[in-house]
Each structure stands twice: as structure tokens, then as C-alpha cells.
Amino acid sequence: MTLAAAFSHCCSPAIGILRPTATAVVKVLEVKNVDLNCAQNCNNHHTQFFSSNKLIVRRGQLFGFYVHFQNREWDDDRDKITFTVATGPKPCESLGTKSTFPLGKCPNQSHWNACYKLHNEQSLHVSLFPPASACIGCYTLNMCLVSCEHSSTQHLGDFYVLFNPWCSDDPVYLDNQAHREEYVLNEHGIVFQGLPKHVTSHPWYFGQFQDGILDICLKILDTSTNFLRDPGMDYSCRNDPAYISRVLNSMICCHKKKSILKLPPSNNYLQGHNPLMWNGSAPILRQWFQSKCKPVKYGYCGTFASVMCTVMRCLGIPSRVVTGFYCALNAVDPLTVQEVYDYTGKTLSGKEHIWVHHCWNESWMARKDINQAMSDWQYLDPTPIETSKGSVCSGPIWVKSIRDGDVDTDSDGPRVFCMLNARSTAWVSQGRGKKTKLHCDIWPCGQCISTKSVGGDLPEDVTDAYKHELGSLQEKKAFYKACRKINSQYLNAPNSEIDKDIASQRNKTLKDTGVTMKFKMANCPLYGQDVQIKWMLENLSNEAKDRKFNLCAQGMIYNGCSLDPVWKDCVPVTLGPKEVKTIKIEIPYESYGSHLCDYNIMRLAAVSMPEPKGEIMMVERDILIDSLPIEIKVLNYPKLNAPCSAEVTFSNPLKEDLKNCVLHLEGYGLFGEPIATELGTLAANHKAQTCVEFTPYRNGKHCFIANVSCNKFCNCKGYANVDMGNPPPTSGEGGA
């Protein structure tokens, strides 16, 4: 009732004259507290593995919190709330790094907004929506309450926004739950190495949810050249996963002063950490952060790709580590790699060589910079390659464009296409800059491209995603297309001319000499065993063949650089007409044991002495020496926060003692910190057995990693998967 009506009513003759009463004073609404509901929101947004006391959400999805009032209930007519979210050093609405919006009743998924419903008499449940186009990063959240013409602003706290593979409007959307669990949520991975016919598995702990890693990942972005050049513009671009991936890719090892990792000079690790001793990304990222962004010494391509994968998964971009075998990373001629040998069969180091194996990263996204409507895998390679413009890294590059020869889709496309499709040409050096082309059978580049299988530890072959079947019509079309875009001289050339030109660069085959050769080996030898290999020759002609061959075995580094020869021999061979001959070759352990690098790869080559016709034959094979096995047995049923024990066994089958043996143990969720146990000297033909006690502190699947280093090697690894919900494994797994 209004004051005038009340006064008129009071003056009615039937009632008599009464004094008017004053309207009750409405109190200004006061906020008691705000509950950001971190635990529930993190569960809803698949971020519960991060620290539970932080609000970490994914864009394109509502998150809710409670506003509790002190003195009365909410009144739509008298009370209004406005929220402001901001990120970056200079938040700006026009750049998309700041947004102010009112509290309403209806949600809107096109922009930042908030809606509410009554929770109880003096509480509101607020649902706040970060759009799928929001910049990722750390945000401040402020609330302005206007009540009865009185205004007050309150800082509610900070929250993090990540990419959202569960949201169909996000460019990183991945519609397969098993794939999301593998490529976003799984903290354990496998890095594949070795050779195409003998792939070895090395466990890696990505650790994207470990304490502090998210802040370190954002610090990496804040250390980039793009940020230092224009912080506001850099933050405004952080809504684009392609931009984020490009910046992070350059920060792994290509930044001049503050890259995360550094390559060892001339494969010398004495001033830092041997790359093969790393088992996870978190220690590397923490060391970089704690040293005020000084590059960590040292890493190699597998380390770079694994750290890149950690950062991408942490920010919400589905990612995986991929390994390819025989990759031409530094070819001078884009489509041809020149490999040179001497007459003894020794590989000569030069500017060009084919990497035995190479690791890179793939990330899942739709890229607006190439008008890509659907998400797909993108190639990202943080390993720096020296070019005329300095050190560069590659990506993102749409994987399908590599396969189809559309190398102009991305600026780095030609380099990556050549890496996987270049033709190798082998020469023998005659000294003084002269060389002769060899007769040999060359293996193709880009073999056995593999990644960890979803939900398992075995390699999944993804070669078909990068290359059409060798010799198929699609493969030829893609190659011709790429040739015309890479080399201007082929622009208007017919296919036959391209074939003729490339054929002129290739080696003639062994069949052209009338003799075929190959090295054959039943199994890879274990470290300490003599290498037993069969050299099989066949005379295809009706005439006898007399040849003299030089044989050479030398250690190889993963990047194709050769070491000094470990074994040599000279063998005369006589082949009768149509004769097939097998020659047994033995390379003693004493010859190679102290001369292999940590990757345990040896290349054996046989080169014939020049014939009157000038033809020189060669056959070669790469040999992997298996590391000594480590056996891990978890002795009792693993339970959360309950003591558990494991038995680690390492044997020395050599005829010599292993000195300065150290057992390194790691297992996030199982151990608080890595454990190093000095074993001292392990006598010849003896074994060391160690019982380790630990208390699992986190549920889920974990990886128990053991590594033995000594005076002879440092990369002897084994691992066992420990599932807190299942009985323990009966024996150790993996680890060549």
C-alpha cells in the first residue's frame, strides 16, 4: 500500500483519523562469502587430476559457484550483479582478453555470460560460461554488486581456462572417449626407438597434471618472443590452438636464450644430463622454471617431442609422440640425400645423413589459418634444424597434406614431405672431391611411422596417414604434385620428365651387376653377445664372378652421424654361375663393447673393390644391440596408502665386471621422489637383486621404471605397469 493510499484510508470517517506509518527501510544486500566449488567443477571439466584447490575449467562448458548473502535474500528489483573476467598483463575487451557481463536468468553460449537460480533463501547458484572461443590462461574473476543504489566490487579469485576436447564447438574437439583418455588424460606414454624391424619401447611419464606444471606451461608462453614483442596481442591470440602450438614448438629448443632444452654439442653430455636418462617431463620443466628459464642440458628429439606433448596435453590439446625411421631431416637437395662411403665401407660424416629414427609430436585440432573445418592431426616438430635462416622447427602442418603432396598448405610442408619421401643416393669417395655412384639397394625414407596404441603399450603403425602405399597410383600422384611445388624446374614438366630426372640421380641396383646380396640375422644380439650375421650372395648370371669386398662395422648415433669403425675385414668371394653362397660373419663383443654410443646401433657394410667396368657394389644393414634386461616383480597387491614392495633383478652376463652400478627407480603415484641406489661393482656372470618398499599415494594406473647405469652403459631400462585396481604383474615388462 502506498503512503497516499494509506493516508486516505486512515482518514476514512468510518474508522477515524490515524497517523500515517513510514515504509520499512530495505537493507543493502551484503555478501557473506563465495564458494567457487572447485572440486565439483574440476570433476565436471575433467581437470580433477590437477590440484583440487584451484578452479580449472574448460572453455565451452558452464561452471557453477555459490554466492551466499549476509543479511537478506536476493531481490531482482533491487539487486544487480555484474562480473568481469580478465587475463594477461593488459586486459582489453576489444582484444578478447577482458569481458564484463551482467548476471541474468538465461544462458547464452555465444559469449561470456552468467545466469543464476536461487539455491536457498540467502544464496544464489551462479553458472558462468566461458565461450569456446575464449583465450586460454589464468583469469581474474571480479563481481560488482549494485544494491539499493549502493555499489561494491569484490575479487572472487583466479581461475584457469583450458581448451576443451569434449566440446564440439572447440577446434580441439575429439569425439572418441577412448582417444580423449589417451591423448589428453593419460600421463604415461611410450617413446619408440631402435630400428624398423626391431622397435624398442621406452616409458615416459608426461606428468601434465603434476603440481605446478600448468603454471610452468603458461610461463613458457609468457617467455616467448611473441609475448615479449607484444603482450596484449599475444594473449589475444591464445584462443587459437594452432597459434599456441606454433609458439610452444619454438620454445622447446629453438629459442635463443630461454628454450626449455638444449641439444648436446657434438653428442657430448659431460656438461649436463644424458638425454636417455630422462624418464619424464616434469623434472625438466621444473628445472627450467627454477633456473629462471635457462635451457636444461640436454635433450634429443625424443625428449623434445615428449616435453611438447606434456605441455599440449596440460593445456587441453590432444597430443601424442610419433616416431619415424630413416628420416632425411637435413637434405641439401630437397628430394635427394647424398650418403658417402669410403672403400673400406665406412660411412663418412657430412652435411647430409639419414636419421635412423626421429621423434616428433602430433596434435589434434581444426586450423582456421588454413580454413580447416574438421579437426585432424597436425605435425609438430620441436627439434631444431639448421638452415640458411638459422635454427628452425616445423609445424603445425596438416598430416593429410603431407601424404597428398599438398606441400604449399604450410610453409614447412616441403621440408617435412622431403624428410619422409626423399630418395637416398649412395656414393663411394675417391678422394680429392671425386666420388662414384654405388650399385646398391636403397631403403626408402619414412618407414614404420609409429605411436603408442590407445589403451596399450604396443606401437600403432600410422605410416598410412603420412604416405600412400609405395608404388601405388596415389603415391605417384602425390609425389609428382609435391615435386612441382618444391622444385620450380618441374612446374610444367610432364611426369615422364620428372621420372627421368629422378631416376638419373638414383643408384643402379645390385641386379644390374648380376649379383644380389643381403645381410640376414635371426635375432638382435644381447649386449655382451657376439654379433652373428649371414651374408647371402647370389650370382644371377651364367658366368663366374670373382669379387673382393671390404667389410666395416661402425657405431651409429640416432641422427645418422657415424662413429669410428669397431670391426673391419677383407673377404674375397668367388661365385660360380647361378651360385648361391652364404658367408657367416661374426663381430666379437670385444670389438664393439666399448665403442657403441648409448643408442646401441651398429651399421655393417660390404663394399666391393672397383671392377674394370667401374662398377662398385655395396650392401649394408643396421644392427640393434639389445640392452640387458631388467626384471621387475611387484610382490603384493598394491593398495592406496598401504606399504607395497617390489623386487628388481639385474644380471651381468658379461665376462667382465660392471663398475659403478647405480639403480635408478621412478614411479609417479608410487614413489614420492626418484630413488637412486648404488650397487657398486657387479661381478661377471652375477646378478643384483634389490627389494624396494613404497607406498602408493594415488589411484589409477602407474608405471614403475627402473634404469641401471654403469661404466659401460647408461640406458638399460625396464618397466612394469602397476594398476591399483588389479593384481600386480608377475614379471617385468618392456625396456630394451
Catalytic positions, written as ranges: 301, 358, 381
**Which residue in the block uniquely carries the three cell numbers 589475444?**
236
Torsion of CA 359, 360, 361, 366, to 10 degrees: -140
**Using the 8-state DSSP alphabet, how is residue 656 labeled?**
S
- What is the dihedral sign for C-alpha 235, 236, 239, 244? negative
Q: DSSP string of 344-411?
A: TSPEEP-S---EEEEEEEEEEE--GGGT--S-EEEEEEEEEEEETTEEEEEEEEEHHHHHHT-TTSST
Give backbone dihedrals phi and psi of 400, rounded to 5 degrees, phi first.
Answer: -60, -35
Q: Rounded distance, CA 481 to CA 483, Å?
A: 6
CB 103 within 8 A of CB 83: yes
Give the list of residues 6+ apart from residue 734 with CB closer than 8 angstroms, or none.
Answer: 190, 201, 203, 457, 717, 718, 719
SS (H, E, C) 122-137: CEEEEEEECCCCCCCE
**Nearest CA to 535 among 524, 551, 523?**
551
Q: Can you tell me whether residue 259 is helix, strand or coil? A: coil
Question: Angle of helix 213-223 relative to helix 301-315, nearest 10 degrees?
Answer: 110
Between CA 599 and CA 605, with CA 601 as vertex, the angle to 5 degrees is: 160
- Residue 319 has which C-alpha cell? 597430443
**Burial class of residue 337, CB neighbours in 10 A (0-12, 13-18, 19+):** buried
459 cis-preceded (ω within 30 degrees of 0): no
Q: Are strands 376-387 and 675-682 parallel, antiparallel or unpaired?
A: unpaired
